[in-house]
Amino acid sequence: MTQTVGESSGASQPSRAGTSPPTARVVSIIELLADPDRQSMTLAEIVRQIGLSRATAHAIVGELVEHGWMFRDPASNTYGIGPGFVALARSADNADHLSRWAGTAARELSERLSIPCFVARRTAPDSITVSEHAVPDHLTDDGDASPWFRHGQRIRLRPPICREFLAWETSEVRAEWIAQAPETTRTRLRLVLDVVAERGYSIERMTDDHVAMVDALSSLDTMSDGLRAKVGDLLTELSVIDYLPDELTGDVAAVTIGAPIRDANRGVVASIVACPNTTMAATELIAVADATRSAADRISEQLR
């Protein structure tokens, strides 16, 4: 049986006079998971870090999940900061212009192009979170008009997806990311990252299993090392990665087009993503991509 740490153990922090221990426990858990160096934690890890009994931690975490301040990933049985807390923090912090500006830009782009659009924010070194989205009215009557993204959804920055977040990284960071892909795809990934950096956007090719592939890539951390490597390699090898310039001819199919939002340090902190999810003439796709890039560029200029 795994031994848990009780509130009276040495791991607990002593309460100061006049403070509320229950409140301090909630604050400690939120501060722990809000640390940008942490992605998510199991309940056992929270217990060890905070120094609570498992029963107390479970009760607090359950209440926070209920209010949206935390979320539980059923695949990995881990917890992270939830969209409710993120939304509250943003509404209280007027300095967070990125969310407001990018959200407005995504809605305007969606209205202009008549396709869904969303904002992906980098919330950890190796993951992004869908923070804002817009779906045209004529698509909302058809049920789930945006199966490839959900508000608060986290996506791992694993090859070959989310390339607009890697194209402007240092050669060392790019090499580390590419090294996670099967060797047979690495040459194309290098070429594609160069193209993305030059033209200013990535294109996710449309396949029948695109949604399943993204979900699978995002959940690989729950597998053993050996199985994770095999499944990740298979998924990457089954996908055709982006379009190189000489491939953008005739009719082309695209699920998403992602353009980076860069801060004053030129780092990619978010992206605006248009979701055509259809086959169209290459000239039409390029026009959608240019509009998406222009929207992202305007936000980048405001952040400098």
* pTM, rounded to two decimals: 0.62
Cα dihedral sign, 141-142-144-148: negative
**8-state DSSP, 7:** T
d(CA 71, CA 94): 24
Alpha-carbon dihedral sign for residues 271, 274, 279, 280: negative
Residue 217: its pLDDT value, please? 52
Q: For residue 35, what are the contacts with CB-CB under 8 A and spacing of at least 6? A: none
Tell me the domain boundaries of the chain: 21-86, 96-303
Question: Residue-wise pLDDT tens for the chain (304 aa)?
Answer: 333 333 333 344 434 444 577 888 888 888 888 876 676 889 999 998 888 899 999 999 999 998 888 888 888 889 988 888 877 765 555 446 788 889 899 999 999 999 999 999 998 888 888 888 888 877 765 555 455 567 778 888 888 888 999 999 999 999 999 998 888 889 999 999 999 999 999 999 866 455 455 555 555 555 555 555 555 444 544 467 899 999 999 999 898 999 999 988 889 999 999 999 889 999 999 999 999 999 999 999 988 7
Looking at residue 239, its pLDDT comes to: 60
Closest Cα partner for 185 from 161, 201, 209, 166? 161
Please provide the size of the chain in residues.
Answer: 304
Is 272 in contact with 296 (CB distance < 8 Å)? yes
Give the model confidence (pLDDT) of 132-182 as tens digits: 888 887 776 555 545 556 777 888 888 888 899 999 999 999 999 999 888
CATH topology of domain 96-303: Beta-Lactamase (3.30.450)
256 and 200 Cβ atoms separated by less than 8 Å: no
What is the C-alpha separation between 275 and 288, in angstroms, rounded?
10
Please tell me whether residue 247 adopts helix, strand or coil conformation. helix
Alpha carbon 79 to chain centroid, angstroms: 15
- 21-86 has which CATH code? 1.10.10.10
Residue 190's pLDDT is what?
Answer: 96
Residue 99: its pLDDT value, please?
80
